[in-house]
Amino acid sequence: MHRAVLVAVGGNSLIRSGQRGTISEQFENARMTASNIAEIAALGYRIVITHGNGPQVGSQLLRSEAASNQTYSQPLDVCVASTQGEIGYILLNSLQSELRARNIHTPVAVVLTRVAVKRSDAAFSAPSKPIGPFYHKETAEQKRSELGWDIIEDAARGYRRVVPSPLPVEIMEIEVIRRCVADNIIVIATGGGGIPVVFENGDVTGVEAVIDKDRSSALLAGELGMNRLVISTDVEFVYINYKKHNQEAIRDMSVVDATKFLAWGEFLGGSMGPKIEAAIEFLKRGGEEVIITDPAHLLAGLKGDSGTHIRREGTRKD
């Protein structure tokens, strides 16, 4: 599909480092991302937007647990559904405002999206997906002891809860999303990697998990026949030797290079690793290019002026 792009917005793009994550902060941060996406729309692209929900779904779980003696609690799949609505609303409002400011009348829709996984996925016995805020070591140990959480140290930024992250198998609302794209509707879908569900005895049942949004985004972009996938994160480029004295920004990578760096441990799980893995999957399925950059450089990245560009052969097409 030419002149079409899927933009995967990180949950941390809406809650920046050092912020409390208030709704007003999230709206303010969303406007930067929305501004760049509106500029992409002005170039005539058909656009699908996905988003993460790591900080938000963690907060939703905390609220559910804290109020469990006064109201019903929410399982993780329902928390994912709730954050799809919350973040979808923030992105929808922000993007429509930016489109109107440019006199662009393309409609925008939010699609509640389920993603099927397999109950047999090994991830259910080895939680690895970080959610919620970062904690100091003492607080994290207290959560582990009192709530039974699985805790890991995340990219030298602190300690964080982890939950199962099974591989996405099927985008349940793919036909709805496909029709939106065909009708030139900007669609916000597959939020938080999608609401995790399994097929059991003919029924669709939610499960306690969070699917990696970049893997779901790669699956969705491939199913839609898109040739470009843009992954928004908190850095302008992908780096090797990240946060070391010899840190180096990588502007162009082939699938071979990306696979090699992964094997060398350059990209950590729960951080850049899943993004690179998703990029490789998308390109192996027929995609042409993956761009990884931060919200401020989405448009520049799409134009080839910023970000890390990953292709099957690693050569840039100007």
Quick check: is 53 catalytic? no
Q: Which helix (H) or strand (E) holds 240?
A: strand 238-240
Candidates 129, 191, 269, 287; catalytic one: 129
Quick check: is 275 catalytic? yes
Cα–Cα distance measured from residue 302 to residue 44, given in angstroms and rounded to the nearest whole number? 13
Reading the block at residue 123, the tokens are 């991830």
Q: Is-contact 33 298, C-beta < 8 A? A: yes
Count the Cβ atoms, other than its own, within 10 Å of residue 196. 27
Q: Buried b vs exposed e over 206-233: b needs ≥16 C-beta within 10 Å?
A: bbebbbbbbbbbbbbbbebebbbbbbbb
Cα–Cα distance measured from residue 98 to residue 104, given in angstroms and rounded to the nearest whole number? 9
Quick check: is 143 catalytic? no
Q: Is-contact 5 291, C-beta < 8 A? A: no
Q: What's the Cα-to-Cα distance from 79 to each of 18, 71, 174, 192, 259, rounded to whole Å?
A: 24, 15, 21, 10, 34
Candidates 36, 88, 270, 275; catalytic one: 275
Candidates 10, 12, 29, 52; catalytic one: 12
Candidates 88, 143, 194, 213; catalytic one: 213
Count the Cβ atoms, other than its own, within 10 Å of residue 115. 28
Quick check: is 11 catalytic? yes
Relative to beta strand 170-171, strand 159-163 is: unpaired
Quick check: is 213 catalytic? yes
Candidates 11, 54, 58, 191; catalytic one: 11
Count the Cβ atoms, other than its own, within 10 Å of residue 156. 9
Enumerate the active-site residues. Answer: 11-12, 129, 213, 275
